[in-house]
Amino acid sequence: RKEIPHFIILYEKYRDEGFQMLGVTLDKDKTSVKDFAREYNINYPLLIPDKKVLKDYGPIIYIPTTFVVSSDGYIYKKYVGYQPESVFEEDLKTLLARERR
């Protein structure tokens, strides 16, 4: 939850440059997910993953776990635990610059 404000800011700042954000929740109840998004003013889509998504990204044993993924699906970085906004912003700048080439 501590990273959500950072994600909101980064999504606002970079979405017009092609950046996409997807939050993945382990909660299976759609109403709870909608309430959570509303409570935290989340401005990016949230996904309730199926078994395939969970398998593809490995077991999530610590929250937060954050994946930085390129537009072609390559997992550029994986972070377990809280990270400051600057860490994600540097990753985004790097990936967006690569994709402009």
- The total of other beta-carbon atoms located within 10 Å of residue 42's CB is 19
Question: Using an 8 Å Cβ cutoff, are 42 and 79 in contact?
Answer: no
User: Could you list the mean pLDDT of each consecutive 10-residue stretch along the chain, which spans 101 residues?
Assistant: 93 90 88 95 92 83 87 88 94 91 81
Distances (CA, A) of 79 to 32, 54, 68, 87, 91: 25, 16, 8, 10, 11
CATH architecture of the domain covering 4-100: 3-Layer(aba) Sandwich (3.40)
The Cα–Cα gap between 92 and 61 comes to: 25
What local confidence, expressed as pLDDT, does residue 6 receive? 94
- How high is the pLDDT of residue 74? 87
The residues pairing with 78 across neighbouring beta strands, listed in sequence order, are 67
- In total, the chain counts a number of residues equal to 101
pLDDT score at 61: 82
Q: What is the pTM of this model?
A: 0.82
